[in-house]
Amino acid sequence: MTQVTIAKAEAPAAAPRRAVRRLDHRTRSRITAWMLGGITLLFLLYQWLPILTLGLLSFSGPTGGTTFPMNGVSLHWYRELWDASIMNDFKPPLARSFLLALACSATTVVLAVMAAQAVRGRFRGNGLFFYLLLLGIMAPGILVGFGFALLMRLMGIELSWDTTAFVTHVTWTLPFGFLTMLAVFNRFDARLEEAALTLGASRLTTFRRVTLPIVLPGVMGAGLFGFSLSYDEYPRSLFTTGADLTLPLAVMAQLDRQLTPELYAIGTTTTAFSFIAIGIFTFAFWVLRRRVQARKP
């Protein structure tokens, strides 16, 4: 016992001498943490300040302009938005974009799960299939849209938000959902499926009762990608939407005509909408996670 105490007492005596010459690792890692934290904060400000600026200006008074300084604070532009003709212009595009985003979300989920399952099972040319699908992320949107519109015109198919624009959007949202599902299946233990098969479950039952419940959080993620990427898509919509505009197209058109804080109010409203959608998804995700996770004994 005595020997141990002596050894302990001697050890710290040697340490301070070294600390004089160089900063010890604890201090250094604290400085690094502050620096990285600072950079992260700057980045987040850079990301969110523009949106906050728009949001702030949308609350300016009736005589307010589209730049600082704000002339008073009011809900004038939101009231204007609700009553005035401009909102009547925007209501249909809003409804279209919302429906389109929902449809994209559902389609992305189904196709992404199927594509990821196929690649997981390995088939001839599955590497090529992987890269071809990812091309949807790489290809410049405006060209994809333009090329698609040209092709449709050649084939005599009329452009519309719920047909041609929908298909173009899915080529954009699907790769994201696909990558999400691949990542999820990468961590999935295929032996769980084999266990179900040997317990008498058919392949379909195995998918329904074992695979799907376990990968459900990933499925929700794929759905969220499908929704949010389609909801504010501009370049792929530009040439493929036809006469009835989606929300981003309508906003852009309005920007060209006149610029009032009303537009900021629209921007703020749609952002709020996106957040609500994300919030609903996140909540559902959280509920499912809790259902899958172990209950505390």
Give me the residues that bind other proteins (CB under 8 A), please: 189, 191-192, 194-203, 205, 209-210, 213-214, 291-297
Q: Which amino acid is at 296?
A: K
Secondary structure (3-state) at 73: strand
For residue 40, give both structure tokens.
């992260």
Beta-ladder partners of 60: 73
| Minimum CB–partner distance for residue 131 and other proteins (Å) | 23
Of 70 and 197, the one with the shorter C-beta distance to other proteins is 197
The Cα 18–Cα 127 span in angstroms is 55
Please, are residues 240 and 164 in contact by the beta-carbon 8 Å criterion? yes
| Minimum CB–partner distance for residue 159 and other proteins (Å) | 45
Is the four-CA dihedral 90, 95, 101, 103 of positive or negative sign?
A: negative
Of 21 and 296, the one with the shorter C-beta distance to other proteins is 296
| Minimum CB–partner distance for residue 198 and other proteins (Å) | 4
| Minimum CB–partner distance for residue 111 and other proteins (Å) | 24
Of 63 and 198, the one with the shorter C-beta distance to other proteins is 198
| Minimum CB–partner distance for residue 210 and other proteins (Å) | 6
Going by the DSSP 8-state scheme, the letter that residue 59 receives in this structure is T
